[in-house]
Amino acid sequence: MKNSVNRDLPEDVMKDLNYKPFETTEIGHPEIQRVAPKVHVSTGDDKVVTSIKQVIKDTLKDGMTISFHHHFRNGDFVFNTVMREIIDAGYKDLTLAPSSLTGVMNDMVIEAIKAGTITNITSSGMRGSLGDFVSHGGLKNPVIFRSHGNRARAIEHGDIKIDVAFLGVPNADALGNANGMEGDAVFGSLGYALMDAQYADKVVLLTDNIVSYPNTPASIKQTQVDYVVKVDKVGDPDKIGSGATRFTKDPKELKIASTVNDVIVNSPYFKDGFSFQTGSGGAALAVTRYLRQAMIDNKIKASFALGGITKPTTDLLKEGLIDKVMDVQDFDKGAADSMHTSANQQEIDASWYADPDNKGAMVDQLDVVILSALEIDTKFNVNVMSGSDGVIRGAIGGHQDAATAKLTIISAPLVRGRIATVVPDVTTIVTPGDSVDVLVTEYGIAINPKRKDLQEALGNLPGVPVYKIEDLQKLAEQKVGKPKPLEFTDRTVAMIEYRDGSIIDTVKEVKD
Amino acid sequence: MEIKETAVAGTLESSDIQIMISKAATGIQIDLQSDVEKQFGDQIRNVITTTLNALDVTAAKVKAVDKGALDCVIKARTIAAVQRASQTTDQPAWEVL
């Protein structure tokens, strides 16, 4: 069975998991029935407990689905604390459905898989030892990878039915009103966790900081919470986000960033009230600085910046160059602090941010987005999931979701060391070429042939050579040579969903 | 060229390759570590062997630690290592360049 981006999908797995092949980036106007969680009625007087072991015993059964958020990133203590108890209690056949998995969780997940505690995983991504383990066939059932918007969609549909959500927060009152902004281990927006709080049957908050009632602003509300567990420490503040964001000095990244800026400024979307989203990589941060100057020079202000937020973006908010920051997560301390102090930095949940099955998501209103790529092919398809050796080492994040912007720019070096970034066919398709408009490399740009308007607007910029993407691919191959094709077995180790829940590609077990 | 002593050329920086050449009784043995072994391992070994052949090295032990070097870098580091190992750095093998 092939899908519309020409990927062969395994019939047996597709049938077993009741999946449809990816057809189109168009979502249309279907009618959707959302699900609702079970509510165990209480006045809320006895929510505070000290034993996570007892909470697990009271709420969890074999075969259930458990969830976590990844807002603490590599400073997370909650995941390992809870999973330790779950493994030791001998639970089996659980589905792990976190918003994503960070490096600090890897060893525990592998242990839980080996113990039979976890037999299914759905996540935005995975890296390091866990990606390696799964790519070598360590988990029997395929991992389901979903974008942040698609996870929200899947939860609302009931495709992911969370039985128990274990959510770490830097503060909560005795009833469960909580936010991500005050306490020792602050991370700012609780965007991804808000889905779990709203839709899980049982919501367990873990915090090292119980504050007086009622706690405001309440991102998670007492109406959603079953337990408040007091723990010693929820996270290590130094590892939650990078401290001060460093501005790249890499000439290649600067060249790419200034070209991205040229593309934006000369596009039809660069006008007063435009909106944009950038990532957290070196080039993306540099773009923000170039864009700042261009906005000042042209007397243009942005109506909003969206997505994962960094300090360079909140600096623009402070300067009055952006009206609103719509914040689903904060990548550094500066951005997290800014959410606390600025009324114009709005916390948004993953559904509001990017869920396609919505009465309008923010990504649908987005003008310009700058995204990265491990690989991009001559059909403009992008891989952000598997590395050059075919091993899982990435995350979809909001890539597919934000790519629905009116101008989607992929910024990537032509080659990284000996590995070409622009290739004939990407190893794994995550974001379809139909939603990608311009590729920016240090050598020049390539414009999706479907965008005649952009060909016209960007075709003759001084200092910005325009290539056919096929020519950029050949240029890359000339430099690095032709790689030997990767070898995989027939076994499917991961399914890549498109944001509508159809299957855009799969990842196979690597042959070593 | 005859390998007379162990010599090294190149660094462990990304996009470089470090080549260490030492004496061997007969034949060429290459021990390669590379981040891109799967895709380019054969090609890297091929460039090293071809370069050694062009320098008339028939017996050598090569330890190569590759960090994604391009062919031209692999060739240059191999030549430098051979000339150091054969104590011929004062007589560059221009024809091989």
Q: What is the pLDDT of residues A247-270, one digit of tens each?
A: 788 899 999 999 999 999 999 999
Q: Would the pLDDT of A279 be above 90?
A: no
Token code pair at residue A478: 């000339």
Same domain for A230 and A99: yes
Token code pair at residue A432: 């379809």
Asked if residue A424 belongs to a domain, the reply is: yes
Q: Would the pLDDT of A379 be above 90?
A: yes
Q: Which of A495, A349, A509, A499 is nearest to A9 (CA)?
A: A495
Q: Would the pLDDT of A243 be above 70?
A: no
Select the residue of B39, B68, B70 nearest A484 (Cβ to Cβ).
Answer: B39
Asked if residue A365 belongs to a domain, the reply is: yes
Q: Would the pLDDT of A285 be above 90?
A: no
Q: Would the pLDDT of B28 be above 70?
A: yes
Same domain for A236 and A293: no
Asked if residue A24 belongs to a domain, the reply is: no
**Contact status of B3 with chain A (Cβ, < 8 Å):** no
Contacts of B43 in chain A (CB under 8 A): 481, 484
Asked if residue A103 belongs to a domain, the reply is: yes
Same domain for A158 and A293: no
* CA gap A479, B39 in Å, rounded: 15
HEC string of A260-323 equals: HHHHHHCCCCCCCCEEEECCCCHHHHHHHHHHHHHHHHCCCCEEEEEEEECHHHHHHHHHCCEE
pLDDT-derived band of residue A157, with 50, 70 and 90 as boundaries? very high
Domains in chain B: ranges and CATH: 7-96 (3.30.230)
Asked if residue A320 belongs to a domain, the reply is: yes
- State residue A244's pLDDT score: 55
* Total count of domains within chain A: 2
Asked if residue A31 belongs to a domain, the reply is: no
Same domain for A188 and A131: yes
* Residue A325: CATH number of its domain: 3.40.1080.10
Token code pair at residue A152: 């929200």
pLDDT digits (tens, 9 = 90+) for A36-66: 999 999 999 999 999 999 999 999 999 999 9
Asked if residue A267 belongs to a domain, the reply is: yes
Total beta-carbon pairs less than 8 A apart between chain A and chain B: 42
Same domain for A330 and A467: yes
Same domain for A381 and A263: yes
Same domain for A331 and A227: no
Same domain for A307 and A187: no
Same domain for A203 and A308: no
Contacts of A12 (CB under 8 A, 6+ apart): none
Of A210, A240, A270, the position where a domain reaches its end is A240
Same domain for A205 and A97: yes
A418 and B68 within 8 Å at the Cβ level: the answer is yes
Same domain for A208 and A283: no
Residues 52-81 of B with CB under 8 A from A: 67-71
Same domain for A261 and A405: yes
pLDDT digits (tens, 9 = 90+) for A421-477: 999 999 999 999 999 999 999 999 999 999 999 999 999 999 999 999 999 999 999
The interface pTM score, or ipTM, of the predicted complex is 0.87
B38 and A479 within 8 Å at the Cβ level: the answer is no
Select the residue of A390, A418, A487 nearest B36 (Cβ to Cβ).
Answer: A418
Ordered alpha helix ranges (H), chain B? 37-54, 71-85
pLDDT digits (tens, 9 = 90+) for A232-242: 999 998 898 76
The answer to whether the beta carbons of residues A383 and A392 sit under 8 Å apart is no
Asked if residue A495 belongs to a domain, the reply is: no
pLDDT digits (tens, 9 = 90+) for A79-100: 999 999 999 999 999 999 999 9
Segments forming the whole domain that contains residue A477: 251-483
Contacts of A416 in chain B (CB under 8 A): 68
- State residue A245's pLDDT score: 58
Give the H or E element holding residue B63. strand B59-66
